[in-house]
Amino acid sequence: MAEAVLFNLATDVLELASSIIASEIQLGGGARDELVRLRQTVEKIRAVLLDAEKEQWHDARVKLWLSRLKDVLYDVQDLLDDVVTQNLRGKVNSGDKMSKKVSVFLSKSTHRLKVANKIKEIRKRLDQIANEKDFFHLEPHLSESTIATVRRRMTHSFVRQEEIIGREEDKKEIIAYLFDSSSGESVSVVSIVGIGGIGKTAVAKLVYNDDKVNDCFKLKIWVCVSDVFDEDLIIKGILKSAPALDEFQEDPEMMRNLQDIENKSKDQLQSLLRKVLDGNKYLLVLDDLWNEDRQRWLELRHLLMGGSWGSKILVTTRSHKVAKVTNANSVIHVLRGLSEDKSWNLFRKMAFRDWTESLDPELEEMGRDIVTKCTGVPLAIRTMGYLLYGKKKDIWLRFKVQGFPEIPEIDDGIMQVLKLSYDHLPSQLKHCFAYCALFPKDFVFDKQTMIQLWMAQGFIDSLEGNEDLEETGDSYVSELLSRSFLEVEAVDDYTGEVKMFKIHNLMHDLALKVAGGELEMINRNEDWISGGIRHASFVSQSFPLQKVMSLLEATKLRTFLFLKSRTSVQNLSPKEYNKFLSKLTHCRALDLGFADFYVTPSLGSQLTHIRFLDVSENQSLESLPNSMTDLLNLQTLKLSGCKNL
């Protein structure tokens, strides 16, 4: 699905394989030796996966290789999950014999041989893929921290104020924060937080160049930090602003030192910094800050405390967590999208040769629809206006109909800016974020249900091995909220705990893009994509059963969700329903809410891998079959509204 997915998938396969090899499960037929060789092959492949998942954005051959590898790793995971599940079933069925040292699993030699042959066949497929990796000259990396992609995004403080539309109130509020000296500290922090492209840097520039701000601060400094939080680089950036101070103009030695900062040692840089800041009221803008390491911030902060009372550090960042690292009590100004009117004014200025003239009504209607898709994000509005400037109506229509992910011209604009935020996510959060694209825009997520779906797919890691997965999932939601990937929709009136959340429309576009072809929202009248889909949701009220079955036959779905009430499977005969379930043997999350059907006795044997099962609002369900106890991997069962149960 998303970057680092394959690395995590390979890690899970290794853990499963190691667990089985170390257990007393009777495999037979040389399967244990084959499994050892398979594990060795996966270890070799995993070593280069992080590099490969970065390279796939630049090399189509690597992307194709990863796609083939993903299919095999999913097959391995399913097979090993089967082995573990059947072993558990054998223990359950053996009753008092559970204490036996040797498991009863695969007691029949034919079954053991079948598993051994499957492991051997998959191992051969993996060996072939492993041999192909050498063509790509990939570098081994076993953690994301060793493969950080450094992109120095340079910004400057200059701005033409007439080009920034709709930010007057934000500018006023932030300037008021800068003039407020009640923090109790000589140097305090104000943070501007918002998603990529929302205009944080632009607002900081407006503030930085305001006449009242110029009069208030003796020294103003602009430093673009970007990906690399390097103390020496930040100090050098500050020192480059120092020659503007009058007292240094008449100090030849100081001027020589400031002109030669690239050759100074760390101690010399810090000494110069103290001379520049001590006793001066300064404003320091740290633009595009990503650092989440509190200790590294404190080391820098210690060097900045020499300013006189009322000095301020203005930070722009995409993450509340980054803002909190600077100071738990720091002022945070959350930057929202532009209003509808301001958005239209900005778009009109960018898209038309003379934006003051009256417009063609048809163009204006399409333009306003396009602006709505931009959801108030200035970067999106500017990019779309720039791309449509001087274009004919058919091009406008194309942009109106298609979403951002399908328009390649914007890849170097909006999506690349947003993807930078995604690249900074820990790998386990990348899975969870991309999975949100399985739901339509403006969908209101129930936090508990979403966490249960993440659990079903194995996206939630229990680092200590004994942590509650739902609690860990709750921390994932909090992290995604703090990084501006999700937005709070509703909280508990008493506890203040987040109960519902949404995803910003542009972030939804990003989730679709990074999810690739593995995830699909399916509408009734679409030509359905088949093959590589692993997660599918159905967003219309009904679907032809023939189309549903053709999709299931062409894919190995791990998620099957109906998002509308009264679905197409509500009137299936027992035979049709049995056939329907027989195509979901790989499924881990199945939502059949509002579908009236009789649960068949074979349910347990068909849904071997199921973790999440929702049969809410089923009016035909009077009892659960005994086979429900065969769902040994089941974590979540939803039965609300089953009035006749």
> Beta 445-446 vs 498-502: how paired, if at all?
antiparallel
245's CB contacts (< 8 A; 6+ apart) are 218, 219, 276, 280
CATH of the domain at 486: 1.10.10
User: Distance (Å, rounded) from C-alpha 168 to C-alpha 311?
Assistant: 23
Same domain, 328 and 348: no
CATH of the domain at 547: 3.80.10.10
Please, what is the average pLDDT of the chain?
84
Statement to judge: residues 322 and 347 lie in one domain: no
SS (H, E, C) 502-523: ECCHHHHHHHHHHHHHHEEEEC
Considering the domain architecture, whether residues 124 and 216 belong to the same structural domain is answered as: no
Q: 474 and 595: one domain?
A: no
Both 196 and 221 in one domain: the answer is yes
Same domain, 324 and 361: no
| pLDDT tens profile 147-203 | 444 455 667 777 778 788 999 999 999 999 999 988 778 899 999 999 988 999 999
Other beta carbons less than 10 A from residue 507's beta carbon: 25
314 shares a domain with 447: no
The whole-model pTM stands at 0.79
**Single residue among 283, 315, 334 that ends a domain in this structure:** 334
- 404: DSSP letter: G
Q: Do residues 328 and 179 both lie within one domain? A: yes
Can you tell me the distance from the alpha carbon of 487 to that of 506, in angstroms, rounded to the nearest whole number?
A: 12
Residue 58 lies in a domain: yes
The domain tally of the chain equals 5
Residue 586 pLDDT: 92
Residues 116 and 166 in one domain: no
Residue-level pLDDT at 458: 92
In a domain, 238, yes or no: yes
| 266-277 helix and 252-259 helix, angle to the nearest 10 degrees | 130
Q: What percent of the chain has pLDDT over 90?
A: 39
Do 311 and 196 belong together in one domain?
Answer: yes
Residues 98, 77 share a domain? yes
Q: Which of 12-21, 374-383, 470-479 has the lowest mean pLDDT?
A: 374-383
Regarding predicted confidence, which is higher, 294 or 504? 294
Looking at the structure, tell me whether residues 54 and 34 fall in a common domain. yes
User: Is residue 176 a part of any domain in this protein?
Assistant: yes
- On whether the CB atoms of residues 282 and 221 are closer than 8 A, the answer is yes
Residue 153 lies in a domain: no
- Tally of CB atoms within 10 A around 302: 10
CATH number for the domain spanning 275: value is 3.40.50.300
Please report whether residue 644 resides in a domain: no
| 25 lies in some domain | yes
- Examine residue 139 and state whether it is found in any structural domain, yes or no: yes
Per the structure, the complete domain to which residue 611 belongs is given by 523-638
Residues forming beta bridges with residue 312, ordered by sequence position? 188, 283
- Looking at the domain assignment, is residue 575 inside a domain? yes
Greater confidence (295 vs 567) lies with 295
